[in-house]
Amino acid sequence: MMTAALLITSGSMAQQPDAKKGEAKKAQTQTRPAAVPLSTTVKSATDIAAQQPEKAGKLYSEWMLPAAKLTFPALPYDLDALEPVIDKLTVEIHYDRHHRAYFNNFIKAVGGTEMETMTIFEIFSKMSELPVSVRNNGGGFFNHVLYWNNLSPKGGGEPGGELGEAITKYFGSFEAFRAKFDEAAKTRFGSGWAWLSVDPEKGELFVSSTANQDNPLMNTESRRGFPILGIDVWEHAYYLKYQNKRADYVESFWKIVNWQDVEARYKQFYEMKDKLFR
């Protein structure tokens, strides 16, 4: 069973047999801790559910494990699966070198410390008191897992269901939300991320951007939230294909957004929110 999956996976792995190649295969042969099943039932919009019907409603999370037990997850599709939006070489370098390095350095940084037994959410909640190596590498590890799951070769379009309704409620329309997210992604100076998150107090959706490998779960952020969609705007995410044209990368990004994953994460927020911001 593919519970080796990622943060809050929408489970695109099971229908991506090629994910078993290379490093992914190695990862799967390790003994993995049992995933924590969540009881959420996903009720996706028809167009989204049609993409991965057999996985709707099946959510797993490994993030509640002690940090030292976290594993480096397989990419949920082939390296070239996101072409032409993101080219194979970019995915390969981004996933296998950058992301893997963040993971390795995070595990190293928490090793032998009290952080070993904390969940990554507990670590993010105490970020301001912890070493910068944990902030950069823990953020880098977590953010990229979310990023890969947020994307799919079968993605694109617009969300329906409860997520689509919430976006309309809080932004006025999907177009208005997208304009806001685009703006955050394009104007983030230097390296960082733009996010769509859920406010833990009010439940409202909001857009923000963070520097470096920070994310809205960290207590170093002025507005904290549970991220459900993130775009990496570090140059390593797009430079080979788009060079300095970040705006073109951001525009193309929408063609591969895995809305089923974003909606699943949105619903998971309500399952997990009590454990996220302590």
Residues that bind Mn ion (CB under 5 A): 232, 234
Q: CA-based diameter of the chain, in Å? A: 48
Kindly state the smallest distance separating residue 94's Cβ from Mn ion, in Å: 6
In the complex with Mn ion, which residue's Cβ is closer, 7 or 59? 7
Kindly state the smallest distance separating residue 54's Cβ from Mn ion, in Å: 30
Query: Do the beta carbons of residue 82 and residue 147 sit within 8 Å?
Result: no
- What does the radius of gyration of the chain's CA atoms come to, in whole angstroms? 17
Cα 91 from Cα 266, distance rounded (Å):
25
Query: Do the beta carbons of residue 203 and residue 277 sit within 8 Å?
Result: no
Which parts of the chain are beta strand (E)? 36-38, 59-61, 192-198, 205-211, 226-232
In the complex with Mn ion, which residue's Cβ is closer, 12 or 143? 143
In the complex with Mn ion, which residue's Cβ is closer, 96 or 122? 96
In the complex with Mn ion, which residue's Cβ is closer, 234 or 253? 234
Kindly state the smallest distance separating residue 33's Cβ from Mn ion, in Å: 26
In the complex with Mn ion, which residue's Cβ is closer, 100 or 126? 100
In the complex with Mn ion, which residue's Cβ is closer, 170 or 249? 249
Kindly state the smallest distance separating residue 97's Cβ from Mn ion, in Å: 10
Range 14-43 burial, b when 16+ CB lie within 10 A, else e: bbbeebeeeebeebbeeebeebeebebebe
242: its two tokens? 């788009």
Cα 30 from Cα 23, distance rounded (Å):
11
Kindly state the smallest distance separating residue 144's Cβ from Mn ion, in Å: 6
Kindly state the smallest distance separating residue 150's Cβ from Mn ion, in Å: 13
In the complex with Mn ion, which residue's Cβ is closer, 236 or 275? 236
Which residue number places its CB atom closest to Mn ion?
A: 232
Q: What is the residue type of 130?
A: L
Kindly state the smallest distance separating residue 165's Cβ from Mn ion, in Å: 31
Pick from 180, 199, 193, 78: which is nearest to 142 by CA?
Answer: 193
- 207 exposure class (CB count in 10 Å sphere: 0-12, 13-18, 19+): buried
216: its two tokens? 């809205």
